[in-house]
Amino acid sequence: MDELIIRNKYKVVNGKDFTCEACGACCSIYSLVDLHITDIFRMAEKLGITPKEFFEKYVTVIEKDGAHTFAMNIEGGCKFQKDKKCAIYEARSDFCAFYPNSHSCFDLSQTQKKEIKPKNPGCSAHKQPDNLILIPDLERMAESRIYYMVKEMYLAQHGGVYDEEGMKAAHKKGLAQAANARMREIVHMQIMSEIMQNIPVDDETGEPVLTRDEVKMIYKKMREKRS
């Protein structure tokens, strides 16, 4: 986006413009990468294998309190990391694509640096000025939320078992829902609501760095930039 300064202090930066120095640390600091069904289909296509083959080779089924989910086990380092780089970068999971943004969506860099340092002290995020407000790809985030909702519906019906037709139907449904303008708007409203509940706070002032109106303004500008 065009340079946007809030209160003559905070600079808004698109998370997609984050300058990654390819240290590779973020590919090994987690033990699990959460996946939705469309992640599986995208990565399988990139690797030239079927989604079922990908599921059987790379996916870990997790059961807790009778509920199931699935993720990719990357303990000790991701299997797709080669020479500190991602071999399937274009098809990488949403979990990976949003790093280093957190679940709160809008991240103040001074806070972000503190949160990721224990896990990834070498990340180039630590070289960012403290006054940056990092915004993720909001359109991809909306799509991802839809894909995860579809995943939950699949799990409610099939549990952690790979059902060929069920997986294909869920992937197709996710793509259709993500392309549905009304559904996307509903999800965008949910994301904006979450951001307003998690507005970052400046360490120096102890005050929120954004008002609700500023969140709305930034959100609108970001979406206009993408369209």
Place of tokens 């797709």: 80
At residue 24, the pLDDT reads 83
At residue 105, the pLDDT reads 87
Higher pLDDT, 98 or 41: 41
- CA-CA distance, 191 to 145, in Å (whole number)? 9
> The tokens of 202 are what?
């400046």
pLDDT one-digit tens code per residue, 169-210: 999 999 999 999 999 999 999 999 999 999 999 999 999 999
Query: What are the φ and ψ backbone dihedral angles of 46, each rounded to 5 degrees?
Result: -60, -35
- CA-CA distance, 216 to 146, in Å (whole number)? 21
- DSSP output for the chain: ---EEETTTEEEEEGGG-------GGGTS-SEEE--HHHHHHHHHHHTS-HHHHHHHHEEEEEETTEEEEEEE-TTS-TTEETTEETTGGG--HHHHTTT--TTSSEEHHHHHHHHTTT-TT-GGGGS-TTEEEE--HHHHHHHHHHHHHHHHHHHHHTTS--HHHHHHHHHHHHHHHT-HHHHHHHHHHHHHHHHHT--B-TTT-SBS--HHHHHHHHHHHHHHH-
pLDDT one-digit tens code per residue, 134-164: 999 999 999 999 999 999 999 999 999 999 9
Residue 37 has pLDDT above 70, yes or no: yes
Q: Is residue 25 very low, low, confident or very high in pLDDT (cuts 50, 70, 90)?
A: confident
Higher pLDDT, 103 or 77: 77
Residue 1 has pLDDT above 50, yes or no: no
Residue 221 has pLDDT above 60, yes or no: yes
Residues in Cβ contact with 84 at an 8 Å cutoff, skipping those fewer than 6 apart: 22, 23, 24, 27
pLDDT one-digit tens code per residue, 84-140: 889 999 999 999 999 888 777 899 999 988 888 888 888 888 988 999 999 999 999
Query: What are the φ and ψ backbone dihedral angles of 156, each rounded to 5 degrees?
Result: -65, -30
Maximal CA-CA distance, the chain: 54
- CA-CA distance, 131 to 139, in Å (whole number)? 24
